[in-house]
Structure 1
Amino acid sequence: MTNVSIVVGPMLAVVLVALVAVGAVVVRLGELGPGRAVVIAAVRAVAQLGAVSFVITVILRSAWWTGLFVLLMFGVAAVTSALRVGVPPRQVSWIAAAIGAGVVPVLALVLGTGVTPLKPIAVVPIAGIVIGGAMTATSQATRRALDELRLRHGEYEAALALGFPRRAAALEICRPSAGQALIPALDQTRTVGLVTLPGAYVGVLLGGASPVQAGVTQVLVLIGLLAAEANAVLAAVQFVAAGMLTGNAHPSRHPSRP
C-alpha cells in the first residue's frame, strides 16, 4: 500500500457514518425528501461495493467472466433507468437501446484501437464509467422529453395543425429540453483541472501513476463519456418522439401516437 492510499480503519468508519448523518439530516430538515433515502443509498453503496470488491478478484482472472460482468452492468443500468423514467416493462428494451447507442460505439473505438488495453483490469472500470454516464443521460433526457410533451401538448397540436408530421412535431417540442441532459458532462469536461479533479484522475494517481498518465486517462474518460452521453440522449429523444417510450402516459394520450 502506498503512502497516499486511503487509511482503512475505525476512523474511516466514523467519518463515513458522520457524512451519512449530515446528508440525511440536511435532506430531512431542508424538506428535500426523506432522510432515510440518504441512509439507504449509503448502506447499499457499502454492501454493493463490498460484494463487488470480493467478486472482482475472480472476475478479473478471466476474459469471459469480465464480459459477463460488463453485460450484467449494462442490464442493471437499463433496468435502473427504466424504473427512474417510469416506463412499462415492454419499453425497457428501448431504454437499453438508447444506453447501448452511447456505450457500444465508445467501447468499440477505445478498446478496438488498443488505446485502452483489452485486459480485464482496464475493461471493467472503463466500461462501468461509460455505462453509468449513458444510463444517467438516458434517464434525464427521457424524463425531460416526456415532461415537455405532456406540459406543452397544446403546442404539439398546433404544430400538427400547421402540417408537421407527428414525429417532427414531437421533436420540435422535446428536443431542446432533452438536450439539457448533456449539461453536467459538458460542464465537467470544460472545467476539469480548474474546478475539480474527477475520479479517474485521482484513482490513477492513488494507484501510483504519474500525473501525466493520470491526466491522459481522465481526458480519455471525459471525452468518451461526452460522446456516449450525446449518442444516448439523441437515441432517447428519437424514441420518445416516435412513441416508443411513453412513460406512464396512457398510449392514447401520447402525442406521437395517432
Structure 2
Amino acid sequence: MNNLAVNNLSLVFAFSLVVVSLGIVYKEKLGLEKDIIYSVIRAIIQLVIVGYILKYVFNINNIILTLVMMFIVFFNASYSAYKKSAGIPHSFQISFIAIFCSTSVTLGLLLLAGTLKFIPSQIIPITGMIASNSMVAIGLCYRNLNSNFRDQRQQILEKLALGADLKQASYPIIRESIKTGMSPTIDSAKTVGIVSLPGMMSGLIFAGVDPVFAIKYQIMVTFMLLSATSISSITVCYLSYKQFFNDKKQLR
C-alpha cells in the first residue's frame, strides 16, 4: 500500500492552486473572483458535512438510511437539472423520473450480477456517480430541446398543418437531443485510459491497488455511465417534448 496522506498542511499548500486561478481571473478582468471564492467555500463546507454523514451512515449500515441517502441524491440531482430547463413545465418531475429510472435500472443490473452489494459504502457513491452523469445529460437535453423548438418553430408548425401528430413533428428534435445528452459520455469512453485516467481508477491506484485490477472497476463504471446517460436522455426527451405544446396541441 502507498503511504500517501492528505493532511491539513497539504491542503493549505494545495490552496495555492486556487490562488493561481484567482490571479488569472484578476489579470484578465473576468469578474469571477467572488464566484470562485464562493464555490470553494461551499465545496469545503459541503464535503466536510457529507464526509461526517457518510462516516455515520457507513458505520450504521442501515437499509432505510441508505435509501434515504439515495433519495437525497435523486432530489438534489433533479433540482439541479430542473434549474437548467429554462422554464419547461414539469421539468423537476421529469428530471426526477429520468434520474430515478436510469439509476434504478443500472444499479439493479449491477446488483443482480453480483458486481455490487447493497451496502451504503458501495451503493451511495455509485448512486452519486450515476445521478451526476444523468443530471449533466438531462441538462444538455433541455438546452437542445429549448434551442431547437425555438429555431425550428416554423418547420414544426408546417408539419402540424400538414397533419403530423406531436411526436412526428418533434421527432427530429427528440432524436438530436438524445444524441446531445449521450455525446459527452460516449466521447469520454473513447479516450478513457489513453487521455484520461478517471476518478475511480485513479483513486484505486493511489490507494495501492494493482492497476490491472483497477481497470476492471473502471470498465464497469464506463458501462454503467453509458447505460445511465442513455436511459436518462431518452426518458427526459420523450417526457419533455409535449411540454412545448398546449392542450390544443398548438406550439407554445
Bigger drift between 86-95 and 202-211 goes to 86-95
Alpha-carbon distance, 1:21 to partner: 3.2
Query: What is the Cα-based RMSD across aligned positions, in Å?
Result: 2.6
Number of the residue aligned with 2:230: 230
TM-score normalised by structure 1 residue count: 0.86
| Contact in 2 for aligned 1:79/1:92 (Cα 8 Å) | yes
Q: Does 1:121 align with 2:133?
A: no
Alpha-carbon distance, 1:212 to partner: 2.0
| Contact in 2 for aligned 1:148/1:174 (Cα 8 Å) | no
Alpha-carbon distance, 1:88 to partner: 6.5
Tell me the amino acid that sits aligned with residue 35 of structure 1: E
TM-score normalised by structure 2 residue count: 0.88
Number of corresponding residues: 250
Question: What secondary structure is seen at the aligned counterpart in 2 of 1:85?
Answer: coil
Tell me the amino acid that sits aligned with residue 81 of structure 1: A
Tell me the amino acid that sits aligned with residue 50 of structure 1: V
Alpha-carbon distance, 1:24 to partner: 4.2
Alpha-carbon distance, 1:180 to partner: 1.6
Tell me the amino acid that sits aligned with residue 92 of structure 2: V
Number of the residue aligned with 2:219: 219
- Unmatched tracts of structure 2, length 5 or more: none
Tell me the amino acid that sits aligned with residue 108 of structure 1: G
Alpha-carbon distance, 1:124 to partner: 1.4
Deviations 1:7-60 (A, max 9, x none): 3232422322x3223334545665767332222222211111111111111111
Q: Does 1:19 align with 2:26?
A: no
Alpha-carbon distance, 1:172 to partner: 1.7
Number of the residue aligned with 1:109: 109
What is the correspondence of 1:181-192 to structure 2 with a 5 Å cutoff? 181-192=181-192
Q: Does 1:159 align with 2:159?
A: yes
Distance verdict in 2 for CA 1:187–1:159, change over 3 Å: same
Q: Distance in 2 between matches of 1:227 and 1:198?
A: 17
What is the correspondence of 1:161-176 to structure 2 with a 5 Å cutoff? 161-176=161-176
Q: Does 1:49 align with 2:50?
A: no
Number of the residue aligned with 2:6: 7
Distance verdict in 2 for CA 1:254–1:43, change over 3 Å: farther
| Contact in 1 for aligned 2:95/2:138 (Cα 8 Å) | yes
Distance verdict in 2 for CA 1:109–1:172, change over 3 Å: same
Distance verdict in 2 for CA 1:167–1:26, change over 3 Å: farther
| Contact in 1 for aligned 2:205/2:211 (Cα 8 Å) | yes
Number of the residue aligned with 1:145: 145
Bigger drift between 131-140 and 111-120 goes to 111-120
- Unmatched tracts of structure 1, length 5 or more: none
Alpha-carbon distance, 1:144 to partner: 1.2
Question: What secondary structure is seen at the aligned counterpart in 1 of 2:196?
Answer: coil
Alpha-carbon distance, 1:62 to partner: 1.9
Aligned-residue identity in percent: 24
Alpha-carbon distance, 1:216 to partner: 0.8
